[in-house]
Amino acid sequence: MKLIAANWKMNPASLKEAVRLAGSCDEKGVVIIPPFVFLSAVGDVLKKAELGAQNAFFEDDGAWTGEISFRQLKGLGVRYAVIGHSERRKLGESDGVIAEKVVVAFKSGFRVILCVGEHWETRKKGKRAAYNFVKKQLVADLAVLKDRRFKIKNLDLIVAYEPIWAIGTGRNDDPEDAAEMAGFIKEVLAADFAVLGGRVLYGGSVNARNASGFLTRPEIDGVLVGGASLRAGEFKRIIAAGK
């Protein structure tokens, strides 16, 4: 079964709608990633699916107005954390900050969904340019994995390849190209970080029409879904495509 992750971003508008949506998509192999304000209520609804957070901070506590810690999230039953999403990077989140978050996430026992992906300006230069861009992100964001002092048992790293030019644009990547990138990412994880079995998801305008094109590729272990995850009927069809 493939992993189907629903990134709701800053949606829906009400708690009632969040609970309804979570209940309709509560299936094994699914991760629901709602806004912070809905985490507790959505967690209470889920019986089969798992709970994820869209972000977290690298300190456990303290004077950090507006932030939330991995410790707090864990207390709510959250087990997955999205780190380094392009929308966070656009707000100024650097690779250095992302790397710090990765360290704390792993030490806190979270399954990390690390987002990487290139801009169109890079992609139009060719696949090699895109590969180099993504590898540079991986090397910077996962630097801790090269530190022999860093020992974490049962480390569960998931990389979400989300070409920035495809996020929210309705313009998805070609499944064959995405599969090649997923294979490349797995090679980098194995060669540079000794991470074997790391999963790679595809994200970027995934919907019910194109999901099977990505999910049938053996190199791709699932999808990270944005807007389509807010439409229960469509998201259920994506889940079905991953079985």
Domain containing residue 51: CATH number: 3.20.20.70
- For residue 55, the Cα-to-chain-centroid distance in whole angstroms is 10
Mean pLDDT of 168-181: 92
Respond yes or no: is residue 162 known to be catalytic. Answer: yes
Q: Whose CA is closest to 35, among 75, 57, 70, 6?
A: 6
What percent of the chain lies above the pLDDT cut of 90?
89
pLDDT in tens, 176-229: 999 999 999 999 999 999 888 899 999 999 999 999 999 999 999 999 999 999
CA neighbours within 13 Å on the CB side: how many for 180?
Answer: 9
Which listed residue (27, 100, 118, 162) is catalytic? 162
- For 8-107, where are the E strands, in sequence order? 30-33, 50-53, 80-83
Q: Whose CA is closest to 52, among 170, 158, 183, 194?
A: 158
* pLDDT(5) > 90: yes
Split at pLDDT 50, 70, 90, the class of 169 is confident
Which listed residue (50, 85, 87, 118) is catalytic? 85
Split at pLDDT 50, 70, 90, the class of 73 is very high
For residue 191 the two structure tokens come to: 């060669």
* pLDDT(32) > 70: yes
Instruction: Give the chain's domain count.
Output: 1
pLDDT in tens, 52-68: 999 999 999 999 999 99
Residue-range definition of the domain harbouring residue 174: 3-241
| CA–CA gap between residue 178 and residue 200 (Å, rounded) | 10
pLDDT of residue 148: 66
Mean pLDDT of 62-78: 97
Respond yes or no: is residue 17 known to be catalytic. Answer: no
Residue type, 196: L
pLDDT of residue 149: 67
pLDDT of residue 77: 97
pLDDT of residue 242: 96
pLDDT of residue 118: 97
